[in-house]
A and B are shown apart, each in its own frame.
Chain A
Amino acid sequence: MQITSIDDLQKAKGVGLAQLYPDKPKILVGMATCGLAAGAQKVYDFLSKKAQDAHWGGVVEKTGCIGFCYKEPLVDAILPGQPRVTYEQVTPEIAGALWEELAAGKIPEKQVMARIDVDDMILNGGPRKFYKGKLKGFLAKTPRYEDLDFFKLQRHIAMRNCGFIDPDNLLHYIARGGYFALYNALTAMTPDEVIAAVTTAGLRGRGGGGFPTGVKWASCRKAKGWPKYVLCNADEGDPGAYMDRSLIEGDPHSILEGMLIGAYAIGSSEGYIYVRAEYPLAVKTLQRAIFAAREAGLLGQNILGTGFSFDIKLNLGGGAFVCGESTALMASIEGKPGEPRAKYVHTVDKGLWDRPSNLNNVETWANVPVIIAKGADWYRDTGTEGSKGTKIFSLVGQVKNVGLVEVPMGVSIKDLVMEVGGGVPENREFKAIQIGGPSGGCIPKEHWGLPIDFDSLWDAGAIMGSGGMIVMDNSTCMVDVAKFFLDFLIDESCGKCIPCRLGLKRMREILEEFSAGKGSLEDLEELQSLSEAVKDGSLCALGGSAPNPVLTTLRYFRDEYEAHILQGKCPAAVCKDLITYSINPELCNGCTACVNECPQGAITGTKKEPHTLNASLCIKCGACFEVCKFGAVAVA
């Protein structure tokens, strides 16, 4: 379907809405990577086949991830005139049971997680209620999404379409107000007005730095040189952060529309998306979205009949963390090794092929259409003084409700972990939260009242980064965590400048000593001063922020370092040189599980007799600890 005018767009919206909410039953299966990893493909195949075989009058469709990764695979059922009902952890067997009832026109009760009464449709002029009148039976008792702890504090702006549309269906995106913001910008606003709106809205870069987006755009617009490039950074390399992947997989057109608006504001006709090759589904989804937009005329020449032209190319990353850095990313698009350069000349003046280039992150782009559609003031309503809007965090690690959460800026760490995340599992104790990936820091429990925004995290020694939040409990050793991040950064350092290349290695050696129970308090001082040197002396942000995990753990968990050095103890029982495994004969009932699992043959014993562990053979792999169901294996 060609969309070359506002009439076409309106028509597409009508068709899209009829597909999105048809007058017949609909089943949605969450098929982003997290869903697929949990087995959603089988569920989808099963339900599709059933529907086909039965000549069912309804539709079975795939959708993106709504964020509740921990409950995947998620299946939603929408029967006409009824609320949308979500089912959790649906296996093919459970899908079978669900199908029987749905096919008979009933709403199943089994595995129900929540219901949605109203679809907000924030860009579509108002909410759409799913049903009229009062709910009866179990549905009345089923919690609404907004009643669940996990969703209570959330506000989906960037993720507005995730879990509601088929990401491969352009019409679904348009049905929820998509590409209308672009039309508005192109016909009713000058480029300067677009930039002013983004600036007033207070949007700051969601990829890590938090640089004001509008300011960047304005500099790029002013820069001399042609052509100008608009780039999207989808090289999401932070371990523990996957919101960009999820946005792409759930709502790719929001990114394309954001880039189109940005290109109009800056005066660019060519764009690139640099995406990680490790995200095969995201790559395919983007390919399909770009193709669909091109087919419809929303990318290419004379878009929506306004004379504005823009097209996007897709570039696959080669697997290098440093390529998330702007100058390294541009070098990589040029087909070179991704080494950053000093930025005394900014990329907005001389970036890709030495032309003015504007790079923003996936989540930043996804926010842009909302700002244009709803206005800067609407957007400013959410968030804190210096950080407006919402931010998507991936709440992972030692926390009950693992998933993607989009919350207003300014929510406290405590609320995020305890309310949204449901706290630490198995009654263990919250110890710290690691924010901002390898460039970020660990924030301890004493500071968990801290509101999460760009500036207060910076003050605490961490950074917002791309929004990975890894919850750590008392089974996590902070020296080990510092070592872990250094390992990562040594691996990913491009090797161009000395402080980062050699400094990190030396820091790693010192930590290695600590985790072996060696080293002295002077070494702690050396570690501290070396960290400062690497921070000040490195060329790019990777090196400049690399010591953050060390510096924050030193700042907040010095006692743990000292326990390693002075007492030769690892309080969390992680550092292998400092721990021993043993079997408590009183708790051991002689099940032989550990005997069979031990790769060393270090555990001996017969059935129903307490086993014994020969410490001289033990390699401390922890296999026995893992398989023991009776808590008889002790580690200290």
Chain B
Amino acid sequence: MSVTFKALENILEHYPPSSEHLISALQDVQAKFNYLPPEAMTAVCDHLGVPLSRGWAVATFYKAFSLEPKGEHDVAVCLGTACHVRGAANVYEKFRRDLGIAGPEGTTRDLKFSLRQVRCLGCCSMAPVAQVDEEIHGNLSQRKAGHLLRMYRKR
């Protein structure tokens, strides 16, 4: 989605120009564009009256923000303790292998999937779990992880 003045204005009109709204406003931008485009960052900081450096400080500090465009499907694999003791590390490696992602986290070249680690989704009873977009999938094995990716590829 391209960054339009209109889209940013729709977000910023909810916030009075005060520094306390920086995180909330950036969260809205992230939700709208799936990442923080530089031009949006400038607009948010200008509007709230905070230095741009502070905007980037916040954006790089919190996990919720991404500086690069994300894939169509967000695959968040839980590596919390309960999932870890039930073999989440191997499941995560399976996702990484199947998606061909070189680093610990990343986005596929075709921008179809983004893979990331999360620490506890609070569904420990179904460990190991992964969340794809809004849906939670539990009791995963490497085999199920493979099925899951195939399913979302078709969508």
Closest residue of A by beta carbon distance from B54 = A336
Interface residue ranges of B115-152 to A (CB < 8 Å): 118-127, 129, 134, 136, 138, 141-143
Which residues of chain B are within 8 angstroms of A321 by Cβ–Cβ distance?
A: 119
Interface extent on B, as a size class?
Answer: 35 or more
Is there a chain B Cβ closer than 8 Å to A622's Cβ?
yes
Q: How far is the CB of A553 from chain B (nearest CB, A)?
A: 13
Interface residue ranges of A612-631 to B (CB < 8 Å): 621-623, 626-627
Is there a chain A Cβ closer than 8 Å to B72's Cβ?
no
Q: Is the CB of B23 within 8 A of A470?
A: no
Q: Is the CB of B58 within 8 A of A621?
A: no
A380 to B86, CA, bound (A): 38
A397 touching B82 in the complex, CB below 8 Å, given contacts A36-B136, A319-B62, A320-B62? yes
Which residues of chain B are within 8 angstroms of A437 by Cβ–Cβ distance?
A: 81
A402 touching B124 in the complex, CB below 8 Å, given contacts A36-B136, A494-B61? yes
Q: Is the CB of B80 within 8 A of A403?
A: no
Q: How far is the CB of B12 from chain A (nearest CB, A)?
A: 14
Is there a chain A Cβ closer than 8 Å to B155's Cβ?
no
Q: Is the CB of B19 within 8 A of A320?
A: no
Closest residue of A by beta carbon distance from B129 = A37
A339 to B126, CA, bound (A): 33
Is there a chain B Cβ closer than 8 Å to A34's Cβ?
yes
Q: Is the CB of B85 within 8 A of A37?
A: no
Choose the segment among B1-9, B90-98, B106-114 that binds chain A (4+ C-beta atoms closer than 8 Å): B90-98
Chain B 1-42 near chain A by CB (<8 Å), digits 1 or 0? 000000000000000000111111001000000000000000
Q: How far is the CB of A475 from chain B (nearest CB, A)?
A: 8
Closest residue of A by beta carbon distance from B65 = A318
Interface-centre pick from A237, A238, A396, A485 (highest chain B CB count, 10 A): A396
Q: Is the CB of B85 within 8 A of A34?
A: no
Q: Is the CB of B58 within 8 A of A336?
A: yes
Is there a chain A Cβ closer than 8 Å to B102's Cβ?
no
Is there a chain B Cβ closer than 8 Å to A383's Cβ?
no
Q: Is the CB of B122 within 8 A of A242?
A: yes
Interface-centre pick from A238, A335, A626 (highest chain B CB count, 10 A): A335
A277 to B28, CA, bound (A): 12
Is there a chain B Cβ closer than 8 Å to A304's Cβ?
no
Q: Is the CB of B19 within 8 A of A335?
A: yes
Chain A 467-488 near chain B by CB (<8 Å), digits 1 or 0? 0101010001000010011001
Closest residue of B by beta carbon distance from A401 = B125
Q: Is the CB of B123 within 8 A of A34?
A: yes
Interface-centre pick from A236, A245, A472, A484 (highest chain B CB count, 10 A): A484
Question: Pick the contact of A318 from B19, B58, B90, B142 — CB < 8 Å?
Answer: B58
Q: What's the count of A-B pairs with C-beta under 8 Å? A: 157
Is there a chain A Cβ closer than 8 Å to B70's Cβ?
no
Q: Is the CB of A70 within 8 A of B85?
A: no
A621 touching B94 in the complex, CB below 8 Å, given contacts A240-B124, A335-B23? yes
Which residues of chain B are within 8 angstroms of A470 by Cβ–Cβ distance?
A: 81-82, 85
Is there a chain B Cβ closer than 8 Å to A509's Cβ?
no
Is there a chain B Cβ closer than 8 Å to A597's Cβ?
yes
Q: Is the CB of A338 within 8 A of B122?
A: no
A434 to B82, CA, bound (A): 10
Q: Is the CB of A488 within 8 A of B119?
A: yes
Q: Is the CB of B19 within 8 A of A334?
A: yes
A613 to B123, CA, bound (A): 36
Q: Is the CB of A468 within 8 A of B118?
A: no
Interface residue ranges of A3-46 to B (CB < 8 Å): 33-34, 36-38
Q: How far is the CB of A578 from chain B (nearest CB, A)?
A: 15
Is there a chain B Cβ closer than 8 Å to A86's Cβ?
no
Q: Is the CB of B143 within 8 A of A318?
A: no
Q: Is the CB of B20 within 8 A of A334?
A: yes
Chain A 296-338 near chain B by CB (<8 Å), digits 1 or 0? 0000000000000000000111111100000000001111111
A398 touching B134 in the complex, CB below 8 Å, given contacts A315-B24, A318-B64? no
A38 touching B126 in the complex, CB below 8 Å, given contacts A320-B62, A321-B119? yes
Which residues of chain A are within 8 angstroms of B22 by Cβ–Cβ distance?
A: 335-336
Q: Is the CB of A236 within 8 A of B81?
A: no
Which residues of chain B are within 8 angstroms of A485 by Cβ–Cβ distance?
A: 81
Question: Pick the contact of B24 from A316, A337, A338 — CB < 8 Å?
Answer: A316
Closest residue of B by beta carbon distance from A484 = B84
Q: How far is the CB of B71 from chain A (nearest CB, A)?
A: 18
Q: Is the CB of B90 within 8 A of A622?
A: yes
Q: How far is the CB of B17 from chain A (nearest CB, A)?
A: 12
Is there a chain A Cβ closer than 8 Å to B69's Cβ?
no
Q: Is the CB of B57 within 8 A of A337?
A: yes
Closest residue of B by beta carbon distance from A318 = B62
Which residues of chain B are within 8 angstroms of A597 by Cβ–Cβ distance?
A: 142-143
Q: Is the CB of B142 within 8 A of A626?
A: yes
Which residues of chain A are within 8 angstroms of B84 by Cβ–Cβ distance?
A: 239, 481, 484
Q: Is the CB of A434 within 8 A of B64?
A: no
Closest residue of A by beta carbon distance from B84 = A484
A300 to B18, CA, bound (A): 23
Is there a chain B Cβ closer than 8 Å to A69's Cβ?
yes
Is there a chain B Cβ closer than 8 Å to A268's Cβ?
no
Question: Pick the contact of B136 from A33, A70, A277, A320 — CB < 8 Å?
Answer: A33
A70 to B121, CA, bound (A): 16
Q: How far is the CB of A263 from chain B (nearest CB, A)?
A: 20
Question: Pick the contact of B86 from A33, A72, A319, A397 — CB < 8 Å?
Answer: A397
A74 to B127, CA, bound (A): 18
Is there a chain B Cβ closer than 8 Å to A278's Cβ?
yes
Is there a chain B Cβ closer than 8 Å to A280's Cβ?
yes
Interface-centre pick from B57, B97, B122, B125 (highest chain A CB count, 10 A): B122
A29 to B83, CA, bound (A): 26
Is there a chain A Cβ closer than 8 Å to B63's Cβ?
yes
Closest residue of A by beta carbon distance from B82 = A396
Is there a chain B Cβ closer than 8 Å to A448's Cβ?
no
Is there a chain B Cβ closer than 8 Å to A241's Cβ?
yes
Q: How far is the CB of B35 from chain A (nearest CB, A)?
A: 14
Which residues of chain A are within 8 angstroms of B134 by Cβ–Cβ distance?
A: 280
Which residues of chain B are within 8 angstroms of A245 by Cβ–Cβ distance?
A: 122
Q: Is the CB of B142 within 8 A of A623?
A: yes
Which residues of chain A are within 8 angstroms of B50 by Cβ–Cβ distance?
A: 335
Is there a chain B Cβ closer than 8 Å to A105's Cβ?
no
Chain A 583-627 near chain B by CB (<8 Å), digits 1 or 0? 000000000000001010000000000000000000001110011
Q: How far is the CB of B136 from chain A (nearest CB, A)?
A: 4
Which residues of chain A are within 8 angstroms of B80 by Cβ–Cβ distance?
A: 239-240
A396-B82, A492-B119 known, 13 other contacts, Cβ within 8 Å: A33-B121, A33-B122, A34-B123, A69-B125, A319-B63, A333-B20, A397-B82, A397-B124, A397-B127, A468-B82, A470-B81, A470-B85, A491-B119
- 7 pairs, A vs B, C-beta closer than 8 Å: A33-B136, A37-B129, A239-B80, A239-B120, A476-B85, A597-B143, A621-B90
| 7 tightest A-B CB contacts, nearest first | A318-B62, A239-B80, A319-B63, A69-B125, A242-B122, A396-B124, A337-B61
